[in-house]
Structure 1
Amino acid sequence: MSVSNLTHAPASQSERGAFILSAMAAVFWGSNFEATRIVLFDLPPWTAAAVRVVLAVAATLLWLAATKGISWAVLRRNVVAFAVLGLIGVAGFTATLFLGMKTSSPVTAALIMATSPLTTNLLDSILLKRLPSLLAVLGMIISLSGVALTVGAFSGTHFASGDILILIGSLFWALYTIGCRRWVTGATPIETSAWTMLAGALVLGLVAFRLEMPLTALVHAPAVAWVSTLWMALVGSALAVIFWQVGIARRGPAATSVLFNLVPVSALVVAAIFGRTPDMMQIAGIAVALFGIMLASGNLQGKPHDRHSRRPAAG
Structure 2
Amino acid sequence: MKYWFFLAFATISWGLNFHLAKMMLEDSTAMEAGLWRYIFGVGVLLFFLWGDWPKWSAVRSQLRPLFLVGFIGLFGFNYFFFVGLSKTSAINAALIAGLNPATTLILSRFILKTPISKAQIAGIIMALFGVIFLILKGEIFSILNLQLNEGDAWILLANFVFALHSVWVKQYGGVLSNRHFTFLTNFFCLLGFVFLLPFLEFGAITEYPTQYWIAAIGMGGVGTALAYYFWNKGIAQLGAPQAGIFMNMVPLSAAVFALFFGESIRFYHIVSGLAIITGVVIMQLKGRKRNKPVAQA
Give me the TM-score of the superposition, normalised by structure 1.
0.79
1:268 to 245, 250, 255: 255
Alignment partner of 1:146 is 2:138? no
The count of residues paired between Structure 1 and Structure 2 equals 289
1:170 to 159, 168, 172: 159
Structure 1 distance, partners of 2:166, 2:59, is 18
Which whole-Å deviations, capped at 9, do the CAs of 1:231-256 have from their partners, x for residues lacking one? Answer: 1111111122344567679x956886
| Contact 1:43–1:218 (Cα < 8 Å) also in 2 | no
1:83 to 67, 72, 79: 67
Match of residue 12 from structure 1: none
| Contact 2:93–2:155 (Cα < 8 Å) also in 1 | yes
Aligned-residue offset at 1:101: 0.4
Letter in 2 for 1:134: K
Distance 1:18 1:169, change over 3 A: closer
Structure 2 distance, partners of 1:248, 1:128, is 14
Aligned-residue offset at 1:283: 0.9
Match of residue 206 from structure 1: 195
| Contact 2:138–2:268 (Cα < 8 Å) also in 1 | no
Aligned-residue offset at 1:264: 0.9
Aligned-residue offset at 1:182: 3.3
Alignment partner of 1:182 is 2:166? no
2:53 to 70, 75, 84: 70
| Contact 1:43–1:217 (Cα < 8 Å) also in 2 | no
Letter in 1 for 2:27: D
Distance 1:116 1:41, change over 3 A: same
Aligned-residue offset at 1:133: 3.2
| Contact 2:73–2:164 (Cα < 8 Å) also in 1 | yes
Alignment partner of 1:134 is 2:123? no
Structure 1 distance, partners of 2:279, 2:246, is 15
Give me the TM-score of the superposition, normalised by structure 2.
0.84
- With 234-243 and 152-161 compared, the bigger mean Cα shift is at 152-161
Letter in 2 for 1:235: V
Alignment partner of 1:100 is 2:89? no
Aligned-residue offset at 1:137: 2.8
Q: CA RMSD in A?
A: 3.1
Distance 1:241 1:83, change over 3 A: closer
Match of residue 7 from structure 1: none
Distance 1:127 1:280, change over 3 A: same
Alignment partner of 1:236 is 2:220? no
Match of residue 181 from structure 2: 192
Aligned-residue offset at 1:41: 0.7
1:35 to 20, 26, 29: 20
Structure 2 distance, partners of 1:125, 1:247, is 19
SS for the counterpart of 1:70 is coil
Structure 1 distance, partners of 2:119, 2:268, is 25
Letter in 1 for 2:161: F
1:124 to 108, 111, 119: 108
Alignment partner of 1:44 is 2:29? yes
Match of residue 290 from structure 1: 277
| Contact 2:170–2:235 (Cα < 8 Å) also in 1 | no
Alignment partner of 1:220 is 2:207? yes
Distance 1:30 1:172, change over 3 A: same
Distance 1:190 1:291, change over 3 A: farther
Which whole-Å deviations, capped at 9, do the CAs of 1:128-170 have from their partners, x for residues lacking one? Answer: 7898433333222211211222343441474311111111112
Distance 1:304 1:132, change over 3 A: closer
**Unmatched 5+ residue regions in structure 2?**
none
| Contact 1:257–1:309 (Cα < 8 Å) also in 2 | no
SS for the counterpart of 1:288 is helix
Structure 2 distance, partners of 1:131, 1:257, is 15
Give the fraction of aligned pairs with identical amino acids, expressed as a percent: 25
Structure 2 distance, partners of 1:80, 1:245, is 18
| Contact 1:271–1:277 (Cα < 8 Å) also in 2 | yes
Distance 1:276 1:153, change over 3 A: closer
Structure 2 distance, partners of 1:124, 1:115, is 14
